[in-house]
């Protein structure tokens, strides 16, 4: 670097340092260090819950059209039961993978759902019920739930898992 450039850079640095070490008190003689600013409390925002299980629907169906996509074994199927006030039914055959994830859920677990026919987001498990396979009908689906998961767990029993959407946690 040329001597003039070094001299100019040194002068700029000296001016900056001199500006920082001024003996003039800001604000009419008050010490800057004595000034206080109001503190703001940060809103307490809890992080979104982590899903224990994630599933993507393979298809959306109705009570009259669900058999083919369910039997295709490509994943869970979102079934609109067609009755006002009833939750969405998400079903997967036990031998197609449903038994690997639905019966293991417990109250408080979080499930992330997306894909055709489902309102994508996080859902919390409220209730896990076991029933005789032939004794369950659409009227048995808990109307207070947003989604009910269903799979068989044996030749004679199935499990229904009631889910409620976690507010503000759409994916």
Query: Which among 83, 91, 62, 77 has a CA at the least distance from the CA of 149?
Result: 91
- What is the three-class DSSP state of 18? helix
CATH of domain 53-165: 2.40.260.10
Domain boundaries, the chain: 3-34, 53-165
DSSP designation for 48: P
The model's pLDDT over 76-103, given as tens digits with 9 standing for 90+, comes to 999 998 888 889 999 999 999 999 999 9
The model's pLDDT over 39-78, given as tens digits with 9 standing for 90+, comes to 666 666 677 789 999 999 999 999 999 999 999 999 999 9
């Amino acid at each position: 670097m040329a001597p003039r450039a070094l001299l100019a850079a040194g002068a700029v640095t000296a001016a900056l340092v001199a500006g920082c070490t001024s003996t003039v008190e800001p604000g009419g003689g008050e010490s800057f260090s004595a000034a206080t600013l109001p503190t703001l409390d940060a809103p307490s925002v809890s992080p979104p819950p982590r899903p224990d299980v994630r599933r993507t629907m393979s298809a959306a169906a109705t009570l009259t059209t669900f058999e083919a996509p369910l039997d295709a074994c490509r994943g869970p199927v979102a079934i609109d039961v067609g009755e006002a006030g009833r939750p969405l039914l998400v079903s997967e055959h036990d031998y197609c993978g449903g038994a690997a994830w639905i019966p293991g859920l417990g109250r408080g677990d979080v499930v992330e759902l997306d894909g055709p026919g489902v309102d994508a987001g996080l859902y919390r498990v409220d209730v896990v019920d076991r029933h005789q396979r032939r004794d369950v009908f659409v009227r048995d689906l808990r109307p207070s739930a947003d989604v009910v998961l269903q799979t068989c767990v044996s030749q004679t029993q199935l499990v229904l898992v009631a889910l409620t959407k976690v507010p503000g946690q759409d994916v």
